[in-house]
């Protein structure tokens, strides 16, 4: 059920909801760096990782830190190249630490992307002065979060639960209603291996999530909107890659860059997440304002749903707003499985139930249209409206 990237620790996503640390990659020849363990600079806790100036540092381990201070040996081309490579592949602010750095090297490091260049041996006061601008920038970003759009993550108890079809119908209904209020809605298909949300909505996108990932530092709001394919309802869709991507090929840093851009561009953003967990999908869930767990009413599906809930709680995310949606509900099932049994299996109540109307849903998916165009009044359409109303209340959206 999980595919956690061994190159990313659980800290990678946890740091996004806590005070981020500053990581020091230094050799500590004079012992001064060791004295910084447990200290704070500009409000950031300092974490020291002793290593040689040319030892390999995996860039996928940097996301989630406020900054990284990296020792550079002025007389070592390998050490200089290490810093340049990290600066190229990571969005985490990097600070170089150099002993008796020549002016030409300082200029070279700054051109490569160094936020600052500090002298060695390392001093707490120097670190403090270097980090203050970063602290102020993060504070400004935190203030701007107030005006950001709402993020809704959709996870599944298991594949085949009809979650993508249900999400598609929920998203286009929400987009129709939001458009009347002058607000836009986006659906991002992060199921990088089996995602077909765009296909189920009758769309044939030319660009996809893969184009945003490949953009790297060129990623901005204009590129994000250029990648969008628009549904007739007004829903903006960023499709899953046309070719399968390994889950570990996407990092938490890349995912959160895309999500943060999307929530700055759109009032509501839905994320269709893969069934298998990874560090970046945990980051997405941790970042969300609301999580919808979609399951079916069967012993196996409820067991898998409970495992998903237990995993989330085990990662210190029990405070998330999580609501369980039972999809494809048939009245006969409740003669076989009692409500008390469902509550016991899940450890919580089901929040929403969506009726099973396979013929209507299949026709809507095949034509890429809202259910209401297939059948004006249906049980499944009514249940989706109840789900949307609950979602709006949970997100605090004006309507």
Tens of pLDDT, residues 78-122: 999 999 999 888 878 999 999 999 999 999 999 999 999 999 998
In the chain, pLDDT over 90 holds for what percent of residues? 59
Classify residue 332 by its DSSP letter: T
Q: What is the pLDDT of residues 355-370, one digit of tens each?
A: 988 899 999 989 989 9
Tokens of 354: 């969506």
Q: How high is the mean pLDDT of the chain? A: 87
**CA atoms of 53 and 98, how far apart (whole Å):** 10
Q: Which domains does the chain have, with CATH numbers?
A: 11-143 (3.40.50.2300), 149-395 (3.40.50.300)
Task: Evaluate whether 266 touches 230 at the Cβ level (below 8 Å).
Answer: no
87: enclosing H helix or E strand: helix 77-89
pTM of structure: 0.69
Q: Count of alpha carbons within 13 Å of 314, Cβ hemisphere only?
A: 7
């Amino acid at each position: 059920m999980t595919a956690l990237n061994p190159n990313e620790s659980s800290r990678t996503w946890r740091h996004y909801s806590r005070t981020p640390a500053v990581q020091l990659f230094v050799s500590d020849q004079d012992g001064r760096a060791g004295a910084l363990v447990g200290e704070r600079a500009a409000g950031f806790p300092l974490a020291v990782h002793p290593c040689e100036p040319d030892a390999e540092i995996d860039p996928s381990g940097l996301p989630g830190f406020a900054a990284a201070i990296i020792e550079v040996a002025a007389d070592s081309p390998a050490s200089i190249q290490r810093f340049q490579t990290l600066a190229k592949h990571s969005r985490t602010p990097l600070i170089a630490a150099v002993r008796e750095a020549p002016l030409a090297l300082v200029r070279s490091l700054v051109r490569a992307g160094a936020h600052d260049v500090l002298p060695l041996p390392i001093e707490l006061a120097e670190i403090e002065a270097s980090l203050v601008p970063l602290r102020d920038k993060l504070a400004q970003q935190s203030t701007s979060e107030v005006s950001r759009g709402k993020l809704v993550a959709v996870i599944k108890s298991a594949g085949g639960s009809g979650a993508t079809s249900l999400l598609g119908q929920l998203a286009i209904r929400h987009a129709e209603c939001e458009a009347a209020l002058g607000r836009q809605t986006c659906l991002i298909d992060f199921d990088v291996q089996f995602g077909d949300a765009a296909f189920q909505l009758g769309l044939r996108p030319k660009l996809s999530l893969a184009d945003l990932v490949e953009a790297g530092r060129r990623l901005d709001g204009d590129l994000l909107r250029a990648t969008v394919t628009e549904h007739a309802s007004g829903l903006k869709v960023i499709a899953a890659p046309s070719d399968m991507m390994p889950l570990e090929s996407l990092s938490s840093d890349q995912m959160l860059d895309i999500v943060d851009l999307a929530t700055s561009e759109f009032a509501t953003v839905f994320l269709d997440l893969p069934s298998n967990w990874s560090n970046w999908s945990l980051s997405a869930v941790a970042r969300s304002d609301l999580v919808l767990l979609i399951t079916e009413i069967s012993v196996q599906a409820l067991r898998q749903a409970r495992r998903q809930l237990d995993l989330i709680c085990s990662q210190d995310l029990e405070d998330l707003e999580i609501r369980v949606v039972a999809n494809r509900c048939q009245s006969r099932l409740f003669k076989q499985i009692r409500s008390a049994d469902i509550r016991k299996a899940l450890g919580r109540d089901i929040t929403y139930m969506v009726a099973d109307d396979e013929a209507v849903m299949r026709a809507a998916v095949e034509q890429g249209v809202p259910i209401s165009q297939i059948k004006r009044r249906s049980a499944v359409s009514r249940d989706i409206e109840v789900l949307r109303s609950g979602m709006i209340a949970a997100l605090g959206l004006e309507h």
